[in-house]
């Protein structure tokens, strides 16, 4: 399965591409939004934290009982998206800065959706309509590769994406546009 760096960077980069398409060419992207998009790309894997809590308390012994169930359903980002739509006109003041609550939740929905799409495309299967349906979808792209080798492949992919992203930022001096 795609690892943390892949989820973080894909969500962050796709968010900046979408932002650039929706806003003026010279519009600065708030750094907090960029960071949030990357972090939101990690959010569906919070079910691992739930597993470890339940495991420590003696309630679960198999991660597959929680991982890729609810948080990997399209219902998860859809819930954030619907709440974002309702709160789009709500402004919060944090440290003397106005933040659009709806925009924040829309970014969370976007990052979560990217995560789910990556998991379905690159490894294994997801239940897109859980809890309403138990149907699983996915490409099974890496199914023919032994699990241990698959982990190594995804770790290599993770490192490659990170190096390419940092190289891109250094060569284009793009980080300056975010600050």
> What tens digit of pLDDT does each residue of 93-140 get?
888 888 899 999 999 999 999 999 999 998 788 999 999 999 999 998
The pair of structure tokens assigned to 161 is 């994406």
pLDDT at 22: 87
d(C-alpha 73, C-alpha 112), whole Å:
10
Average pLDDT along the chain: 89
**How confident is residue 84, by pLDDT bands cut at 50, 70 and 90?**
very high
**Between 28 and 109, the higher pLDDT residue:** 109
93: β partners: 98
- Structural domain count, the chain: 1
> What tens digit of pLDDT does each residue of 70-81 get?
999 999 999 999
Instruction: Name the residue range of residue 140's domain.
Output: 4-178
SS3 annotation, the chain: CCCHHHHHHHHHHHHHHHHHHHCCCCCCCCHHHHHHHHHHCCHHHHHHHHHHHHHHCCCCCCHHHCCCCCCCCCHHHHHHHHHHHHCCCCEEEECCEEEEHHHHHHHHHHHHHHHHHHHHHHCCCECCCCCCCCCCECCCCCCCCCHHHHHHHHHHHHHHHHHHHHHHHHHHCCHHHHC
Is the pLDDT assigned to residue 169 strictly greater than 90?
Answer: no
Is the pLDDT assigned to residue 179 strictly greater than 70?
Answer: no
């Amino acid at each position: 399965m795609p690892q943390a760096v892949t989820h973080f960077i894909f969500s962050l980069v796709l968010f900046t591409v979408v932002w650039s398409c929706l806003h003026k060419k010279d519009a600065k992207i708030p750094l907090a939004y960029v960071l949030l998009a990357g972090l939101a790309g990690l959010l569906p894997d919070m079910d691992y934290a739930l597993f470890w809590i339940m495991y420590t308390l003696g309630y679960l012994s198999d991660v597959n009982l929680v991982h890729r169930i609810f948080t990997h359903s399209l219902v998860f980002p859809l819930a954030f998206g619907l709440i974002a739509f309702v709160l789009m006109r709500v402004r919060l003041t944090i440290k003397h800065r106005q933040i659009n609550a709806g925009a924040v939740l829309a970014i969370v929905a976007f990052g979560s959706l990217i995560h789910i799409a990556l998991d379905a495309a690159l490894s294994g299967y997801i239940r897109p309509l859980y809890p309403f349906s138990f149907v699983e979808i996915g490409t099974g792209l890496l199914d023919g590769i032994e699990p241990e080798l698959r982990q190594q492949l995804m770790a290599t992919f993770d490192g490659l994406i990170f190096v390419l992203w940092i190289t891109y930022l250094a060569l284009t001096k793009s980080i300056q546009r975010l600050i």
